[in-house]
Every structure is written in structure tokens, then in C-alpha cells.
Amino acid sequence: MDKKQTLKEIRERVKSNCANDSTGHDWNHINRVRQNAIKIAKTEGGDIFIIELAALLHDVEDWKSTNAGSGLVNKLLKDVNIDEESSKKINDIISKISFKGVNHDDKMDTVEGKIVQDADRLDALGATGIIRSVLYGASNGIPLYDPLIKPDPNASAEKIKRSTTINHFYEKLLLLKDRMNTATAKRMAVEKHAFMELFLKQFYREWET
């Protein structure tokens, strides 16, 4: 299979696999990560084939349910006859992509990894990031806000998963701008970061009236 055909096949398989997702890992998220990764690669370089495949597959086993740890990523890669070296690169990116708190080592070794991680994180920011957080909170039965629970910027991955939606901004979202790997993504994060700050300011004003 040529590269174009391989990407098309994986795109279709991933799309149909995440059709019913309600955890913030639906096709819209995957496709935005894919598009942002391609955009960042235009200025930052890297192997675009690896970048697009890793972006497409990055949440396949993180669909918070049945697919986690199922080996589905490797099954999909095997079905399209990906070579061993590319498969290793893609698996390496996926294993390190998530933000698991500031004390967790999530450093990427390759330019491809840096780009896909940035693209995933950009989609956690801005108006889209706010909507995804609200959806995540709602589908996991998490309270929106409790002024008595203070946010913990050093929170572990386990704690981050369960925090109130408003505290999630301080435990992850507002920390991402300064943790982007590439200069291109850093620039793209600025406006999204400012919008979240504005959103929080307005939210507190409305809460207090």
C-alpha cells in the first residue's frame, strides 16, 4: 500500500471507531489534531507520514473505555503493513503524548513527537478546549465548580482526571502554553490562552452576582 492509501485507510478506520465517542475524543478532536499537526509541520519540519499517522491514532486506546490496552493501534498498523521502524516511532509518540501533571516526564525525543504533542495540547485550549472540558465533566459526573476545593497546579494524572471543571484550567489548561515544544505551537497557543483567561474572569463575575 502506498503512503497516501495507508493514510486514507487509517483515517477511515479511526473515524468509524470513534463515531460514538462522548469523552472529547471524537472524530472532530482527532481531525483537528491531525490538521494542526500538519500545519505545525509546515514550519517545523519532520516526517509528515509519521506525524499524520500518530495524530490519527493518538487517542485510539485512550477512548476511556473498552479500547484502552486492547492493542487496537498495533492491529490497525499491522493491517496496513506498516514497517517495524515507523510502527515503533508512532507507538513511542502515543505512549508519551498525554499531559499527566507537571511532575510527570512527557518529553518527546523526536520532532514528530513534539509536533503531535503540541497539536493535541492546542486542542485542549481556547473555546474548543472549554467546550471539551465541559463535555468531559458532564460525561464523567464531575462538578463544574466548588469554591471550597482549591486547584492544585502540581496535581497528579489521577487527581487531574477527577478535578472540577474550573479547577481543570489551573491544573492543566493554563499550564500548557508555556509547555509547548515548538515555536509555532507557542504562537498558536497565545490567543487561545488569553481567551480562557477572559472566560474565567467572566465566569467568576457571573458566579458572584
Residues that bind ligand ADP (CB under 6 A): 24-25, 59, 62, 98, 120, 124, 129, 132-133, 136-137, 142, 160-163, 165, 168, 172
Torsion of CA 54, 131, 42, 5, to 10 degrees: 40
Number of residues near Ni ion (by CB under 5 A): 2
Could you give the CA distance from residue 88 to residue 190 in angstroms, rounded to a whole number?
A: 33
Instruction: Work out the angle at residue 3's Cα, subtended by the Cα atoms of residues 107 and 20, and round it to the nearest 5 degrees.
Output: 70
137 binds, among Ni ion, ligand ADP, none (CB under 5 to 8 A by kind): ligand ADP
Query: C-alpha cell of 178?
Result: 508555556
Given the complex with ligand ADP, which of 56 and 160 has the nearer CB atom?
160
Given the complex with ligand ADP, which of 6 and 29 has the nearer CB atom?
29
5: Cα separation from own chain's centroid: 25
168 binds, among ligand ADP, Ni ion, none (CB under 5 to 8 A by kind): ligand ADP
Roughly how many angstroms between the first and final C-alpha of the chain, as a whole number? 61
Q: Does 120 bind Ni ion (CB under 5 A)?
A: yes
Q: Does 52 bind Ni ion (CB under 5 A)?
A: no
141: Cα separation from own chain's centroid: 21
165 binds, among Ni ion, ligand ADP, none (CB under 5 to 8 A by kind): ligand ADP
Find the shortest distance in angstroms from Cβ 206 to ligand ADP: 19
Q: What contacts 207, CB < 8 A, 6 or more positions away?
A: 145, 147
Q: Does 59 bind Ni ion (CB under 5 A)?
A: yes
Look at the block and give the residue holding cell 504562537.
Answer: 187
From the list 36-44, 63-71, 116-124, 172-180, the region that binds Ni ion by CB under 5 A is 116-124
Which residues make up the interface to Ni ion (CB under 5 A)?
59, 120
